[in-house]
A and B are shown apart, each in its own frame.
Chain A
Amino acid sequence: MTLEGVRTMALHEFRLRLRAGRWRWLLGAWFATLLVLTVFLRWALVEAGLREPGADMFGGLMLFMLGLALLVVPALTAQSVNGDRERGVLATLLTTLLTPAEIATGKLIAAWGVSVVFLVVSLPLVAWCVAEGGVSVTRVAVCLGVTALLLGVICAIAQCLSSLLARSTTSAVLSYVVVFALTIGTLIAFTLALAVTQQTVTVGEPGGQASETMQSRPDRVWWLLAPNPFIIVADAAPRPAEPSDLGIQLDLLGEIGRAVRSTREEITVEGDQVVYTATDKAVWPYGLAANLALGVGALALTTRRLRTPYAKLPKAVRVA
């Protein structure tokens, strides 16, 4: 794999994407949606009596933007490979001297680049949040950086599905299923696992009889929440050292982070007492690592699927 090869592929793919869509409209709609959200968010926060709405505006904007991006990005990438096959341009590409790794990586970089453009377009709104105060530059940088990485992972997964499946509609649908699994699926899995892993403990009432209760053990299944993109971004956001005492402070990202970290509280039964030991162990590094591993795996699988000559062909697939 050479840098020049990846560059050739990425620039080519980026140019094709640039010319294919009505980007001005798409990006305009994207910005308008986020602008409306930010305006209303600020209005609501000020009405609620916050004197420094910056942190919550930022938190709300980041989570909303991530949600919107998770809707847009799979559609942008889900026909990266099978769409090329449907248009009859894949086979001639595979017979060039570009290696499968160069093709897969170049295509991924172009797709990722497009999703990053969406983030860049939102920067004026982020700047507005910062101007309102209460948001550190580190927080902005970490949140945007982690969001960008997560979108890259979604691109890699969508691209991999498009290399595995013959039809671009199928791969688009499956990409959304993956996004659903990462967002809602992780929450459902955590909730179910919590119910399944309940423990029967005997606790004594102070000065009363001992009774058996069901004790849930989030400390054993917290990791099921970790791959959730919203949780990763919220937990990764560096929190201000001291909660601000200016009026009511919600700090959306911070609250989510704290709630998730609380699932890692150590739970021990000492005698007839359940003891909770508060910890502040981060969840996001595990989640981000899991997502990045998924992304790297997806890229490797895409590369494998582009390796010719083919010994086997999936049903209903023509090489050229």
Chain B
Amino acid sequence: MIITEPPAGVEASGVRRTFGEIVAVADIDLVVPPGEVTALVGPNGAGKTTLLLVLATLLKPDQGRISVAGHDPVADPGAVRARTGWMPDTFGTYDTLTTRETLEFAAAAYRIPAGRRADRASELLALVHLSEYLDRPVHVLSRGQKQRLGLARALVHDPSVLLLDEPAAGLDPRSRIELRGLLRRLAADGKAVLVSSHVLAELEATADRVVFVDRGRSVSAQALAELPRSERRPWRLRALDAEALLTSLDRRRVEHGPAEPSGIEVLLPDDEAAAELLTALVRDGVPVVTFAPSGSTLEAAYLAMTEDRR
């Protein structure tokens, strides 16, 4: 007999969840493969948090087929919980406990044997750089530090699937970079990581794949490397001689914004137009030092997706 390993990541199709009249999730398809970081991107109220609650075995979907770590979260929530780490957008804490006690309780709740809980707690606190807070009560932690503690808590039972709701919220720049590194490491370990976020520039550096959701529907899902790069978007130009740049742009009738210390913004239809403009500027003898898309590819794709909302 051949025992086939069930798919380890998340596979969901046609997920729908309503609260009375309100449709929080209308129809979402989602694949989170193991070994990759998948970003869940969408405007406020798009249904991201509700979807994560469904995947985390807290809400029953009205419709749809879901498999998390190879198990159905409705039929067998216990099996899903044993293999899934979920971090809510607002991570509540037992303020009177120390960080060590918080993690040791989580370990006990995930039925980790008593002898291994203390080691696991110090291991995880080291992982999220909170070791010096081992015996400090949680209420002294800042918001970002609590967020990191929440991440450590979600990792306590070494889950194969991670569901993180806005993990970067409240983190300082350094912590964000560390979070990025940590998520990449976890994915490299073979975990399936799903991250919802608004910080698009952050996701671009972290995620392998992106799923756009809007008004409860998955709009598109693609690998980040395949995101269209030739869309109409703003570019930022800067030259040693700003006057020469402006004159050259005006002569070529290129639509542009005002001259700012950071440069001049121009709106170009696609990458070909950008290449042409750069060649022309150089030919004009404009000393160009910066010629780059302003904003990230992900941001551009996001803005294109949500354009019809305005």
Question: What residues make up the interface of A, taking CB atoms closer than 8 Å to B?
Answer: 4-5, 8-9, 12, 15-16, 19-20, 87-98, 308-311, 313, 319-320
Q: Residue of A at shortest CB range from B156?
A: A96
Residues of A within 8 A of B89 (CB): 320
Q: Residue of B at shortest CB range from A7?
A: B108
A92-B88, A320-B58 given; 12 more Cβ-contact pairs under 8 Å: A8-B105, A12-B105, A16-B94, A88-B88, A89-B93, A91-B58, A92-B86, A93-B109, A94-B58, A95-B81, A309-B57, A313-B59
Contacts A8-B105, A309-B73, A309-B74 given; indicate if A95 touches B56 (C-beta within 8 A).
yes
Residues B58 and A95 in contact, CB atoms below 8 Å apart = yes
Q: List 22 A-B contacts (CB under 8 A).
A: A8-B109, A16-B94, A16-B97, A20-B96, A91-B58, A92-B88, A92-B153, A95-B84, A97-B82, A97-B109, A308-B57, A308-B58, A309-B54, A309-B58, A309-B60, A310-B58, A310-B60, A311-B60, A313-B19, A319-B58, A320-B53, A320-B58
Residues of B within 8 A of A19 (CB): 96-97
One of B77, B91, B111 near A92 (C-beta < 8 A): B91
Residues of A within 8 A of B60 (CB): 309-311
Whole-angstrom CA separation of A255 from B82 in the bound complex:
58
Q: Residue of B at shortest CB range from A8?
A: B108
Residues A96 and B106 in contact, CB atoms below 8 Å apart = yes
Whole-angstrom CA separation of A218 from B126 in the bound complex:
71
**In the A-B complex, the 5 residue pairs with the closest CB atoms:** A88-B92, A96-B109, A19-B96, A89-B92, A309-B60
B45 within 8 A of partner (CB): no
Residues of A within 8 A of B105 (CB): 8, 12
Question: What residues make up the interface of B, taking CB atoms closer than 8 Å to A?
Answer: 19, 49, 53-54, 56-60, 73-74, 77-78, 81-82, 84, 86, 88-94, 96-97, 101, 105-106, 108-111, 153, 157
Contacts A89-B93, A91-B88 given; indicate if A97 touches B58 (C-beta within 8 A).
no
Residues A87 and B109 in contact, CB atoms below 8 Å apart = no
Residues A95 and B57 in contact, CB atoms below 8 Å apart = yes
What is the distance, in angstroms, from A232's C-beta to the closest C-beta of chain B? 36
Residues A308 and B88 in contact, CB atoms below 8 Å apart = no
One of B59, B81, B108 near A319 (C-beta < 8 A): B59
Residues A16 and B110 in contact, CB atoms below 8 Å apart = no
What is the distance, in angstroms, from A238's C-beta to the closest C-beta of chain B? 43
Residues A89 and B53 in contact, CB atoms below 8 Å apart = no
